[in-house]
Each structure stands twice: as C-alpha cells, then as structure tokens.
C-alpha cells in the first residue's frame, strides 16, 4: 500500500457502544476470538462497536460498501494493529485504528498507517502532566491550539501521544514521556469524520523520528486526534 497525497485525511466513522449488541452477534468467530474470555459485557460491546466503525470507515475509504468483512490483528507484523480483510480473508488496501471512550467508538481508515484517539476534555492533574509530558511539549500545544478551555491543550497532547503509539504499532508499551512531540501552527480548518478539525504538523522526536500530520477536532466534551505520515519512522541515531 502506498501513502496517500499529503493533503488527504483519514476517513473516520463513529458508532454508539450501547447499540452494539446485535453487531457483536454478527462478528465472525475469528474476530470474537480476539476478546479475552474474562471480558466484561461493556468491553464486548466496545469491541463490537469499534469493529463496526472500522468496517464503515474502510468501506467509505475504498468506496466499496461491504468490502470489509473482518478486522483482525496483523500477526505478521507482531503488533496489535488492526488489519482489514475481505470475505476471502485477503488483506484490503487500508490501514485501521480504533478507539472508544464513554459509550462512543470511533475508527479511522487510511491508505497509510494511521493512529486515532478519542478523549474527554477535562483538567489533568499535575502528577499526570509530569508523568506524560515534557514542559516544552505542553507549552507548544498551548501556543499552537490557542484554546482557552481548561485542559484542552493537555488532552490534545495526550490524545496525540496515544494516536502516535497506535500509528507506531507499539501501543502503550512505550511510556508516554518517551514519545516526544513538537507541534506547529495549523492549516485552515477542514472536516474530519463530520467534525470541524484543524490539521497540524507534528514532529516525533522519540522513541523514533518522524514527520507527522495530525488532525485535532472537538465535538461537545470529546476531542478526536488522528495521526498519519507520508514516510515511515526513522530510528534515532546517537551522536
């Protein structure tokens, strides 16, 4: 799969968790097998809603309704990144990222690796700031976002880091403070998953180096962050 043009945006789809009972029953056995046996009823519904959102996002990206038959893990890559498959089990030309919070699931589909996170905007305490961010990171997000709402910049930085580790395929095996980001002023607003979003240039400076594009949009109490890049990450070289 090749990266899309630099001004293209991922396709985003949303699904309510509470309405996912029927979707859970329709999931293929291979998909349901990804759920741990001890998964709670809520976790099962979140899983089903996320998979349903992923199918919708992939179908819209490919402009082919029903193209995505299953969303499994990329066993060949040795990561937990979702993989979109057709009815024959062949991999589709789409990358997927899934997120959920407080009754809402969302998924992103794109022609290049993508990371997505959905967070509630709230004030994060100082201990979390020290654990997750470098001081210059938060100052950079505050300047770039120019958002007066308390906690918005910190939640955007947190969502960006969560999206980045999904894009990398590592998940939170990497400490948040090890994911070092810088952000530049946004491009003009655009639509992302029905939201009014702003696109930013992100520079990932650890644990690998990469030039990223990030879309940050808000809807009510939630903030959505999607991240992708036109080139793979590069290892950091010591001096």
The enclosing domain of 38 has a CATH number of 3.90.470.20
pLDDT of 236 reads: 55
DSSP letter for each residue of 161-228: HHHHHHHHT-GGGS-GGGSEEEE-PPPSPEEETTEEEEEEEEEEEESEEEEEEEEEEEETTEEEEEEE
Domain that holds residue 15: 11-111
- Residue that is last in its domain, among 111, 136, 152: 111
Same domain, 157 and 106: no
Could you tell me which residues come within 8 angstroms of residue 56 by beta carbon, excluding any fewer than 6 positions away?
13, 15, 107
- Residue 210: CB atoms within 10 Å: 18
Same domain, 225 and 132: yes
Same domain, 123 and 227: yes
Q: Would 1 be classed as within a structural domain?
A: no
pLDDT of 77 reads: 64
**Which stretches of 36-191 are DSSP H helices?**
41-62, 126-132, 135-145, 152-168
Same domain, 159 and 219: yes
Same domain, 101 and 50: yes
Same domain, 85 and 148: no
Q: Would 6 be classed as within a structural domain?
A: no
pLDDT in tens, the chain (239 residues): 444 445 589 999 999 999 999 999 999 999 999 999 999 999 999 999 999 999 999 999 999 999 999 999 877 766 678 999 999 999 999 999 999 998 999 999 999 999 999 999 988 888 898 889 988 998 999 999 987 777 899 999 999 999 999 998 887 778 888 899 999 878 888 888 888 899 999 999 888 899 999 999 987 888 999 999 977 777 655 43
Same domain, 138 and 225: yes
Same domain, 37 and 85: yes
CA atoms within 13 A on the CB side of 58: 26
In the chain, how many domains are there? Answer: 2
Q: Would 156 be classed as within a structural domain?
A: yes
At 140, which CATH number?
Answer: 3.90.470
pLDDT of 79 reads: 67
Same domain, 104 and 122: no
- Residue 124: CB atoms within 10 Å: 20
| pTM for this prediction | 0.91
- Residue that is last in its domain, among 67, 91, 111: 111
Same domain, 78 and 143: no
Same domain, 220 and 120: yes
- Residue that is last in its domain, among 111, 127, 151: 111
């Amino acid at each position: 799969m090749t990266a899309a043009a630099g001004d293209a945006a991922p396709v985003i789809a949303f699904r309510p968790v509470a309405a996912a009972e029927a979707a859970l029953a329709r999931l293929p056995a291979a998909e349901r097998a990804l759920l741990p046996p001890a998964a709670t009823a809520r976790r099962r519904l979140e899983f089903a809603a996320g998979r349903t959102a992923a199918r919708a996002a992939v179908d819209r990206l490919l402009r082919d309704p029903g193209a995505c038959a299953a969303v499994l893990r990329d066993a060949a890559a040795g990561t937990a990144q979702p993989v979109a498959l057709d009815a024959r089990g062949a991999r589709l030309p789409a990358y997927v990222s899934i997120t959920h919070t407080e009754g809402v699931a969302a998924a992103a589909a794109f022609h290049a690796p993508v990371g997505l996170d959905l967070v509630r905007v709230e004030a994060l305490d100082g201990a979390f700031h020290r654990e997750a961010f470098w001081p210059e990171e938060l100052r950079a997000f505050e300047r770039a976002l120019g958002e007066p709402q308390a906690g918005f910049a910190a939640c955007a930085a947190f969502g960006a880091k969560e999206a980045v580790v999904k894009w990398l395929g590592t998940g939170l095996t990497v400490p948040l403070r090890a994911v070092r980001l810088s952000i530049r002023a946004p491009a003009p607003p655009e639509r992302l998953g029905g939201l009014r979003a702003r696109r930013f240039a992100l520079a990932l400076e650890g644990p690998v180096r990469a030039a990223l594009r990030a879309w940050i949009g808000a809807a009510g109490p939630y903030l959505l962050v999607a991240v992708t890049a036109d080139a793979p990450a590069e290892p950091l070289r010591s001096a």
